[in-house]
């Protein structure tokens, strides 16, 4: 799983929160204790991450881009390790089109549907409120 660092966590409507991850604002579902957590993280399953070849040059990457460090082709899916400015992201692309597989060393654009991400509290660092 990918646990992304977030900033600017704000309570939203309907159990959702607004967070900023890698410079992108998202509205995501949240664990009830996530808002009180000292360092919440955004969980994004590798299967929820899409990977496309980017036209950006390596040094002028955007926040949602990274360098492909590893690619494993299994036929029915491809597993990627992608180094972004903030961390390494794992992605699994099912039923890949062979010509669209992003090779090692290339810049990849990564994306995910915010409805497939969840804000979770950090392990035990929950801020307690005084009544």
C-alpha to C-alpha distance for 21 and 9, rounded to whole angstroms: 10
State the alpha helices, DSSP H only, in the chain. none
Answer for the pair 114, 28: CB distance below 8 angstroms, yes or no. yes
Residue 94: pLDDT above 60? yes
116 found inside a domain: yes
128 found inside a domain: no
**What is the per-residue pLDDT across 11-20, written as a single tens digit (0 to 9) for each?**
888 879 999 9
User: In terms of Cα–Cα distance, which of 109, 121, 104, 112 is closest to 84?
Assistant: 109
125 found inside a domain: no
Task: Return the pLDDT at 105.
Answer: 95
22 found inside a domain: yes
C-alpha to C-alpha distance for 33 and 90, rounded to whole angstroms: 26
Q: How far, CA to CA in Å, does 82 sit from each of 5, 22, 50, 88, 92?
A: 16, 14, 12, 5, 11
109 found inside a domain: yes
**What rounded mean pLDDT belongs to the chain?**
87
Domain count, the chain: 1
**59: confidence class by pLDDT, cuts 50, 70, 90:** low
131 found inside a domain: no
103 found inside a domain: yes
Residue 3: pLDDT above 80? yes
The better pLDDT of the pair 98, 130 is held by 98
State which H helix or E strand residue 35 sits in: none
**What is the per-residue pLDDT across 79-88, written as a single tens digit (0 to 9) for each?**
999 999 889 9
CATH number at residue 76: 2.40.50.140
Enter the DSSP assignment of 19.
Answer: E
Q: Which residues contact 128 (CB under 8 A, 6 or more apart)?
A: 36
3-state SS, residue 81: strand
Domain containing 115 equals 2-120
126 found inside a domain: no
């Amino acid at each position: 799983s990918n646990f992304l660092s977030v900033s600017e966590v704000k309570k939203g409507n309907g159990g959702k929160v607004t967070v900023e991850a890698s410079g992108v604002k998202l509205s995501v579902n949240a664990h009830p204790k996530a808002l009180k957590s000292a360092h919440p993280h955004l969980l994004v399953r590798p299967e929820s991450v899409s990977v496309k070849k980017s036209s950006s040059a390596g040094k002028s990457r955007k926040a949602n881009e990274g360098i492909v460090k590893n690619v494993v082709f299994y036929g029915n899916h491809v597993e990627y390790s992608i180094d972004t400015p903030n961390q390494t992201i794992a992605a699994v692309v099912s039923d890949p089109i062979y010509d669209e597989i992003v090779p090692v060393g290339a810049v990849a654009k990564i994306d995910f549907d915010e409805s497939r991400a969840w804000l979770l509290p950090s392990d035990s660092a929950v801020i307690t409120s005084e009544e």
